[in-house]
Every structure is written in structure tokens, then in C-alpha cells.
């Protein structure tokens, strides 16, 4: 469990950091390059969140539960907005800015949990 959480934190931080560095150093050559980053970070974090959800030894903390609430609200709003093309485009545009914030939030949640796990095992 401890090893998984360490790897999870390291991979998330590296993927997010490399994504930002790659974008600002190399620049976005096109719209597709930016979307690859979204799927890379989002895919890893969704995999991590699902593993945490179905593994009983991972404690469910307030921060992680808030992440699930945020995710549920985002999906619900997306389903509601899907009824109108203009609203759906507005939703998709908003997601370009909301999802990076959510990704950073989830990374912070994992770091806090991993530090807490290290403190409990060291004591």
C-alpha cells in the first residue's frame, strides 16, 4: 500500500510537471498536443481514484470524498448541458479550465495522504 501511494504521487507530480514544462518550453504545436496532456493526466488520476475507491485499506478522507463530490457535480452538469449544443460547447470550454484545477487538487490530496501514511508508519 505504501509503495503504491508513493508511485502514485511521483507519477502524478511528474506527469503534471512535465505537461506544464512541455507546454511552456516547447509550446503547443496544435490543439491535439494539449488534449494528449489532458488524457494522460486525467487517465492516470481516474485510474488512481478507482483503485483507491475499491481498496478497503485506503482510508477515505474528507479531501478524497470532496474530490468525488466535485467529480459527480462536473459529470452531472455535463449530462444536463448535453441537452443543448450551445450549452455543451460552453461546458466543454469551461472544462478546459476546471479540469487542470481538479487535477492539481487530486495530486495534493494524494500527497497529503502519502505524507500522513509515512507519519503513521514512522511513529
Instruction: Tell me the DSSP string of 29-79.
Output: SSHHHHHHHHHHHHHHHHHHHHHHHH-TTS---HHHHHHHHHHHHHHHHHH
Task: Give the tens place of pLDDT for each residue, 44-80.
Answer: 898 988 888 887 666 667 888 899 899 999 999 999 9
Task: Give the tens place of pLDDT for each residue, 64-122.
Answer: 889 989 999 999 999 998 888 888 889 989 988 898 899 999 999 989 988 888 777 77
Q: Which domain holds residue 57?
A: 2-122
Residue 25: exposed, middle, or buried by beta-carbon count in 10 A (0-12, 13-18, 19+)? exposed
User: Which CA distances in Å does 78 have to 71, 82, 88, 91, 116?
Assistant: 11, 6, 7, 7, 34
**Per the structure, how many domains does the chain have?**
1
User: Taking residues 7-34, what's their average pLDDT?
Assistant: 74
| CA-CA-CA-CA dihedral for 76, 60, 50, 80, to nearest 10 | 0
Q: Give the pLDDT score at 73.
A: 94
| pTM metric for this prediction | 0.82
Amino acid at each position: 500500500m505504501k509503495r503504491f501511494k508513493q508511485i502514485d504521487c511521483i507519477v502524478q507530480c511528474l506527469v503534471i510537471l512535465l505537461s506544464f514544462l512541455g507546454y511552456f518550453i516547447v509550446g503547443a504545436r496544435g490543439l491535439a498536443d494539449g488534449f494528449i496532456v489532458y488524457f494522460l493526466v486525467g487517465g492516470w488520476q481516474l485510474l488512481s481514484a478507482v483503485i483507491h475507491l475499491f481498496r478497503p485499506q485506503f482510508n477515505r478522507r474528507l479531501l478524497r470524498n470532496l474530490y468525488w463530490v466535485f467529480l459527480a457535480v462536473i459529470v452531472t452538469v455535463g449530462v444536463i448541458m448535453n441537452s443543448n449544443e450551445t450549452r455543451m460547447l460552453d461546458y466543454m470550454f469551461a472544462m478546459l479550465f476546471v479540469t487542470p484545477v481538479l487535477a492539481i487538487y487530486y495530486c495534493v490530496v494524494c500527497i497529503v495522504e502519502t505524507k500522513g501514511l509515512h507519519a503513521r508508519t514512522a511513529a
